[in-house]
Structure 1
Amino acid sequence: MPPEQPEQRRGQRLLFLAVLFAVLLNFPLLGTFSHDARLAGIPVLYLYVLVVWVALVALTGWLVKVK
């Protein structure tokens, strides 16, 4: 079996990351944060979406940059 190409491996990791964040930003998890609680004056749902989005951008950048 030939070794995998680095580009193919990177593509697989990016696909996994996309699926993971699709799950994290889908209804069942968003529903758990959809209540009136606030953290530092920010609604918990907004904070959750912001943190997940920042993590997505950071991990995608890191995966694209790593060789």
Structure 2
Amino acid sequence: MAPIPTQERPEQRRGQRLLFVSLLFGVLLNFPLLAVFDHDGRVGGVPVLYLYVLLAWCALVLLTGLLVRPK
């Protein structure tokens, strides 16, 4: 088995991390977890479900930005 060239390893690792982040947020924004936050509670006047979706989306943007930025 030939070793993978060193130039491809960081790109492959970045792709794997982006795939993991997309799968993670697919799970976080799927029905079972959304149902946990779907109740009449409010935080600062904002429904808990809306706050959860907003914070999950912000985390997705932040993590994706950190992964794709050049070093």
Question: What TM-score range do you get, normalising by the shorter chain?
Answer: over 0.9
Normalising by structure 2, report the TM-score. 0.87
Is 1:11 aligned to 2:15, yes or no? yes
Structure 1 residues not aligned, in runs of 5+: none
Which structure has more RCO (C-alpha within 8 Å, separation ≥ 6)? 1
Deviation at 1:66, TM superposition (A): 5.1
SS of the equivalent of 1:59 reads helix
TM-score between the two structures when normalised by the length of structure 1: 0.92
Q: How many angstroms apart in 2 are the aligned matches of 1:52 and 1:66?
A: 24
**2:66 matched to which residue of 1?**
62
The structure with the larger Rg is 2
Q: Summarize deviations over 1:32-61 as a string: whole Å, max 9, x none.
A: 000000000000000000000000000000
Q: Which runs of 5+ in 2 are unaligned?
A: none
Q: Distance in 2 between matches of 1:5 and 1:31?
A: 39
**Identity of matched residues, %:** 67
Q: Measure the CA separation in 2 of the matches of 1:24 and 1:30.
A: 8
CA RMSD of superposed structures (Å): 1.3
Matched positions, count: 67
Matched, 1:23 2:27: yes
Task: List 4+ stretches of structure 1 deviating above 6 A.
Answer: none
